[in-house]
Structure formats: C-alpha cells, structure tokens
Amino acid sequence: MKVAVIQFKASTNKEVNLKKIITYISKASSKNAILCAFPEFMMFYTNSFQTPKQLASLAETINGNFISTIATAAKKNKIQVIGSFYEKSEKKDRVYDTAFVIDKLGKVISTYRKIHLYDALGFKESNKIVSGSKITKPVKTSIGKIGIMICYDLRFPEMSRSLAAAGSEVLVAPSAWVKGNMKEEHWIAINKTRAIENGCYVIAPDQVGNIYCGRSLVVDPYGKILLDMKKKQGVGFANIDLNKVKRTRKILPLLKNRRTDVYPMLKA
C-alpha cells in the first residue's frame, strides 16, 4: 500500500499554502498513493513576531474553508489526507494545534488536539496554543489502524505505547521539528525508537525551511528507514505492509510481554 509524505516550507499566507496543498494532493493521487500525510503547521508558518491575538484571528473551525477545501480535494482525488491546522478554541487568544484524518470520500473521520506543547529548548508554545485534553483512539483507514500524534508528542513514549496498545498499526506524526544542537539526531532516533518499541510503522512528515529541519521519515516496524526526504520539498513515497507489523509483533512481542501488573507499583 503506497503512502505519500509531503515535505514543504509553509509561508505565512494560508491561501498560498492551501493552493500548494491541493497540488500536492493531486500529485500523490496521480502516483497511486492511497494516503498522503502533511506536516504540522501546514496551514501557515507563524513567526515569533505574530501575536497570540493575530494567530487566533487566522484560526478556523473544523468546518471552515481550510479543511473543507482539503476535504473536497481528497474526495476529488479519491485519497485519504492527514495533516494539521490551527483550530479556534474557547480560550481567548489561544488556538488548538489540531490534526485531522480525512477519508477518500472527503469526510473528516478523526481529529486530535496536541496534548504536549513545546515548552522546551527556549520555546513556549503555550503562549499561543492551548493543549488538548485526551489522546484520540486509533482510526481505521485503508492502510490499517492509525494512531495520531503531533511533533513534540514523539518525545513521550507513554503516548505512542498507549496508541499501540489500543490497536495502532501505524503511527502518523505531523511535525515541525525545530533545528538546533543534536535536533536532527534526536528526530531520527526518536522516530526509529517509536517504531521499534511498538512494532509498527511511523510516518512523520516534517516542515522544512524557516526554522525547521526537514528529514520527513517513514520507518518500518523493525526500525528500518524506508524514506528520508532530507531537505527536499515535495512528495515522497513508501509502501506499508501490515503483514510486516504482524510478523514483527510475533517474533518480537513487546506489547504482549509488558508487565502492566508490575509497572504501577513503582512509587517516586
């Protein structure tokens, strides 16, 4: 099953980005991909000068023009689409960083609001973003059961393990991984580890350019990198084989061998 990964440099103009997104969806479909995954902040790049109020004014609801246009393109091209957008929240001058899954009929079948905000390494996402309150259950798609994470969530193994234990065969993590000391090394190691420890595929589309490092990845259940887009903008492809998930989890039964009866006993 062929999946497409989109890596691009988002501008600050969401209409410009939306046109690019529609083009990428069409390209992915023309190469017979059944799903295409976009990076975090695909809606637009928000720089440090943009105020929380300005960001909130540009955010939309799940029924807004941004998602509706993408849904129409998904239906037209008969392809599933995963990505993220800035979603309006109830809190003044704050938005959600929300991932979405759209099926090939153009229906939004799952959403997830980022729960781990990037308040680290000199950044403070909570100045502009409000965190979600729950992990979304895996959703059935044409490439298997998908668990959704967003960027910084990858650093918290509890989340990917929870999604795998709930049935995820593929983890998809739209990301905008910031450049910095050892950051690319962290990115590669974390994505490989999440795949290995859960015996699943990891699809991690990343932003490139601006302050982001690129290196969009697809990793198989045994930790082999199937796709590394380096610094290239465009569409990359990889094949997903659910039998490999089954085989890996059989010979390396990490989920089965967990001692959940013991772990809670440890006290700080």
Lowest mean pLDDT among 62-66, 218-222, 260-264: 260-264
Confirm whether 8 is domain-assigned.
Answer: yes
Furthest-apart CA atoms within the chain: distance in Å: 54
Residue with tokens 């193994």: 157
With respect to residue 200, please indicate whether it lies within any of the assigned structural domains. Answer: yes
- 36 as an active site residue: the answer is no
pLDDT in tens, 93-116: 999 999 999 999 999 999 999 999
Query: 20 an active-site residue?
Result: no
**Which tens digit of pLDDT belongs to each residue from 189-240?**
999 999 999 999 999 999 999 999 999 999 999 999 999 999 999 999 999 9
pLDDT band, very low/low/confident/very high, at 124 (cuts 50, 70, 90):
very high
Q: What mean pLDDT do residues 52-63 have?
A: 97
Give me the half-sphere count of Cα atoms (radius 13 Å) on the Cβ side of residue 211.
Answer: 12
190 in a structural domain:
yes
Residue 265 lies in a domain: no
| pLDDT band at residue 247 under the 50/70/90 scheme | very high
Q: In the prediction, which pLDDT does 15 show?
A: 97
User: Domain with 35 in it: what CATH number?
Assistant: 3.60.110.10
What pLDDT is recorded for position 166? 97
pLDDT score at 266 = 75
**pTM for this one?**
0.97
On whether residue 54 sits in a domain, the answer given is yes
Residue 99: burial class (beta carbons within 10 Å; 0-12, 13-18, 19+):
buried
Mean pLDDT of the chain: 97
pLDDT tens digit sequence for 132-153? 999 999 999 999 999 999 999 9
Catalytic site residue from 36, 151, 200, 213: 151
Q: Is residue 207 part of a domain?
A: yes
Binned at pLDDT 50, 70 and 90, residue 265 comes out as confident
Q: Does residue 22 lie in a domain region? A: yes
SS3 string of the chain? Answer: CEEEEEECCCCCCHHHHHHHHHHHHHHHHHCCCCEEECCCCCCCCCCCCCCHHHHHHHCECCCCHHHHHHHHHHHHHCCEEEEEEEEECCCCCCEEEEEEEECCCCCEEEEEECCCCCCCCCCCHHHCECCCCCCCCCEEECCEEEEECCHHHHHCHHHHHHHHHCCCCEEECCECCECCCCHHHHHHHHHHHHHHHHCCEEEECECEECCEECCCEEECCCCCEEEECCCCCEEEEEECCHHHHHHHHHHCCCCCCCCCCCHHHCCC
pLDDT at 267 over 90: no
Query: What is the arithmetic mean of pLDDT over 247-255?
Result: 97
Mean pLDDT for 124-132 is 97
Q: What is the pLDDT of residue 211?
A: 97
Segments forming the whole domain that contains residue 234: 2-257
Tell me: pLDDT of 92 over 80: yes
Mean pLDDT across 6-14 = 97
Specify if 26 maps to a domain: yes
* Number of domains into which the chain is organized: 1
Of 14, 104, 114, 244, the catalytic one is 114
Give pLDDT tens digits for 157-185: 999 999 999 999 999 999 999 999 999 99
Among 40, 60, 87, 169, the active-site one is 40
